[in-house]
A and B are shown apart, each in its own frame.
Chain A
Amino acid sequence: MSSRVVVKLENVTKRFGDVVAVNNISFEVYRGELFSLLGPSGCGKTTTLRIIAGLEQPDEGRVYIEGVDVTKMPARERKVCLVFQEYAVFPHMSVYENIAFGLKVKKLPKAEIDKKVKEAAEILELSSYLNYKGGRLGLSEQQRVAIARCLVVEPKLLLLDEPLTLVDAKVRERMRRELKRIQRELETTMIYVTHDQLEALMLSDRVAVMRSGRIVQMGTPEEIYDNPKDLFVATFVGSPTMNLVEGVLELEENKLVLKTPSYKYILSKEVESNIIQSLLGSEVVVGFRPEDAEVRNDGVLEGTVKLIEIVEDRKILHIKINEDEVRVFVDLLAPFTEGQKVKIRINPLKLHIFEKKTGRKLLKGVVSG
C-alpha cells in the first residue's frame, strides 16, 4: 500500500436488518485530498462515513487508515475527527473552551493549547468570537467552531457529515469557498458527505456518486459532470437537470433522428455515421445539458416556451416540444415571452446517449471533437 493512501475501504458491506445500507464498497482516499460521497438520502453515504469513523462496524470487508487495519479498532483510537450536521458545539462553553476541548482531554500543557486554539481560530476567522458562549452563535459560526475543534487535534482524517445542510443559502455559498481554501492551505485529508451536487463539485478533488448502497461512479468533478457513466449520475449531477428524451435512433440523409412513438426529432444535422452506426435502431435515452443547447433561428427542434425562470445570471426557458420538455439557457436580458415559438440547436459534441433498459452510457458526442 502506497503511503499516499490515507483511507482504504475494501469490499465493505453493512446491513441493518434486511436493508443493505452499504453494498460491497471499495475506494481509496489520498493524502491532502478532499473526497466527497455524494448521493440522495438513504444511499448509504453517511453509513460509509460512520464506518470510517468507527461509529459503525461493517458486516463484511476491511477498513484501513494509513495502512493499518482499523476494522475492529474503537472510534477514539482511530485519530479521525467527525463534524456533524448539527449539535456539534457545546452551548454552555465558550468558543475558546469548545475548540480547546479535545486538547484538554489529552492533557496538553496550557500554553500549547492556547497557541493551537488561537491558530485554528485565526484560520476559521473566529478570533473575535473566542469569548462567546457556544449557544449564542449562529449556525455558520457553530459549524466553523466544530471544524476548528477538529483541526486542533490534528486528526489524520477529517470527516464531515453534511455540515452545511442547515445553514442558510448565503452562508452556505461563502462556506463552500472557505472550506475549499482552508482544506487546500492546511492540506488536511477530508471526506465530505453531501446530498448537494453543487457542493460536491465545488469542494472536491474527487467525488464518489452513491446510489442504493453502491458507488455508481468515482472521479474528479469534471469527469463526473462531463462524462456521467449512467442516467442516474447524469441526472443527479448538474443543475438544472440534464434534458432527456426517449426514443429510437435513426439516420436520415446523414441527419440524426430520434423516433418516439408519435414524433420524430432531428437531433443533429451533422453526424459521423461510423460513430453512431452500432446504436441505430436501439431504444435509447438521449440527454443533453441545458447549457449545451442554444436557441437559434436555424435550430432543428421547434417548440413553445412554457415557463421562464431566472437562475443566477441567466434565464432558463422551459420549452415544450411535442410531449417532451427541455430546458435551455438564454441570456438574462434576452426578450423571450411565454407561449413564444422557438427553435433550438444541440451541440452534437455534447449529446449523451444512454441505453434505455439499463441506463448505461453508450456514447458521448455524435461527431468527433
Chain B
Amino acid sequence: MLRRILTNALMWLVLIIAVVWTVIPVMWMISLSFKTYGEWRTPSLLPRNPTLDNYIMLFSPQALGIFIAYTAILEPIVGPLSRTLIISATATVIAVMIGFFTAYGASRYNSPGPFTLFFTLLTRMLPPATFVTPIVIYFTTLYLIDNIIGLILLYAATTVTYAIWILKGFIDAIPVEWEEAALLEGASPLQVLFKVIIPIARPGLVVAGLFIFLMAWTELLFALVLTNLNVPLSVQVSKYVTAVGALWGVQAAAALLSSIIPLVIGYLIQRHLITGFTFGLVRG
C-alpha cells in the first residue's frame, strides 16, 4: 500500500515538473509581449500596465519614436510573415508530392530499392551546419542567395525524406487488394492513385504536411545564412535582440505571432487527422 502511494506521488511530481518546464516559458513570453519598455526586465508574471505597443511596433516600426535606433534595420513584420508563409507552404507541397510518389513506389514496387530509401535518411543524419558552406557556394552560382525560391528548394529537399518515411507507413497499411479491385473495375493506374490511394492516405498526407510545414516555418540556420534583405519570419524574430540592443517585448510579440499561425493551421486540419483510419478486417 505504501509503495502504491509513493509511486503515485512520484508520478504527480514528474507531471508537475514537466508542466512547469514547458508552460512557464510560454506564459512568460505572452506576458512579456504586453509589457511596457520599463517592465521588460522586471520578474513579474503579469504586466502592470498592459500595452499593445510591442505589437504596433511589429507592424510599423516607425510608429514608436523611442526606438528610432533600431527602426532603420527593421522592416514591418508583414514582409517576413508573407515570405515565410509562401516558403513553408510551397516547400510543404513539393516535399509531400515528391514524398508521396516515392513512398508509393517504395511500398508497391520496392523502388528505388531499400538502400536508396535508407540513403535519403542519411542526409538527415549529418549536422546541418556541415553543409552550410557548400550550399552557400552552390546557391551563389545559381543566384539563389537572398531569394525565397532558394529556401523553398532547400526546405523541400531536406524534408522530403520525412515525407517518404511517414507516407510509406500509411501506404503499406492499405491492402493492395483495394487497388486491384479498382483495376478490375476499369480504373487506370493513375485513377487508382488519385481516386483510391490518395483519398484513403489523406490522414498521412496531412500528418506529413503539417510536420514539414512546421520544420520549414521554424528553420533558422540556413535562413540566416542564405538571406540578407528578404528575410523569413524566423530570422526577423531573431533580429529584435541583437548585439546592438534588445527589444525583448517586441521579440516576444513577434514570437507569439509566429507561433499562432501554425497553431491555427494545426487546429483547422486536425479533424483530418481523426477521420476513420480503420483498415482491413472489421469484426461484427
Contact = CB atoms under 8 A, between A and B. Distances in A.
A40 B284 CA distance: 8
Nearest to A74: B4
A238 to B, nearest CB: 19
Contacts of A40: 284
Contacts of A41: 283-284
B182 to A, nearest CB: 27
Nearest to A42: B284
Interface string A229-256: 0000000000000000000000000000
Interface in B262-284: 283-284
Interface residues of A, number: 2
B279 to A, nearest CB: 16
Interface string A95-132: 00000000000000000000000000000000000000
Interface in B238-284: 283-284
Contacts of B283: 41
B212 to A, nearest CB: 33
Interface string B64-94: 0000000000000000000000000000000
B6 to A, nearest CB: 15
Nearest to A165: B283
The prevalent SS among residues of B at the interface is: loop
Interface string A24-61: 00000000000000001100000000000000000000
Contacts of B284: 40-41
A169 B283 CA distance: 18
B195 to A, nearest CB: 32
B255 to A, nearest CB: 39
Nearest to A40: B284
A41 B284 CA distance: 6
B43 to A, nearest CB: 45
A164 to B, nearest CB: 15
A41 B283 CA distance: 7
B8 to A, nearest CB: 13
B181 to A, nearest CB: 23
A211 to B, nearest CB: 14
A154 B284 CA distance: 34
B4 to A, nearest CB: 9
Interface in B120-136: none
Nearest to B283: A41
A322 B249 CA distance: 87
A100 B283 CA distance: 33
B2 to A, nearest CB: 15
A41 B282 CA distance: 11
A160 B149 CA distance: 61
A41 B281 CA distance: 14
A203 B218 CA distance: 62
B108 to A, nearest CB: 24
A325 B283 CA distance: 28
B74 to A, nearest CB: 53
A92 B284 CA distance: 32
Nearest to B284: A41
B281 to A, nearest CB: 10
A322 to B, nearest CB: 31
A163 to B, nearest CB: 15
A46 to B, nearest CB: 11
B283 to A, nearest CB: 6
A12 B283 CA distance: 26
B206 to A, nearest CB: 26
Nearest to B281: A166
A40 B283 CA distance: 10
A302 B284 CA distance: 36
B153 to A, nearest CB: 43
Interface string A136-164: 00000000000000000000000000000
A160 B148 CA distance: 62
B248 to A, nearest CB: 47
A80 B283 CA distance: 27
B196 to A, nearest CB: 27
A330 to B, nearest CB: 31
A56 to B, nearest CB: 18
A321 B283 CA distance: 34
B106 to A, nearest CB: 23
A61 to B, nearest CB: 21
B30 to A, nearest CB: 35
Interface string B166-182: 00000000000000000
3 contacts: A40-B284, A41-B283, A41-B284
Closest 3 pairs (CB-CB, A-B):
A41-B284, A41-B283, A40-B284
Interface of A: 40-41
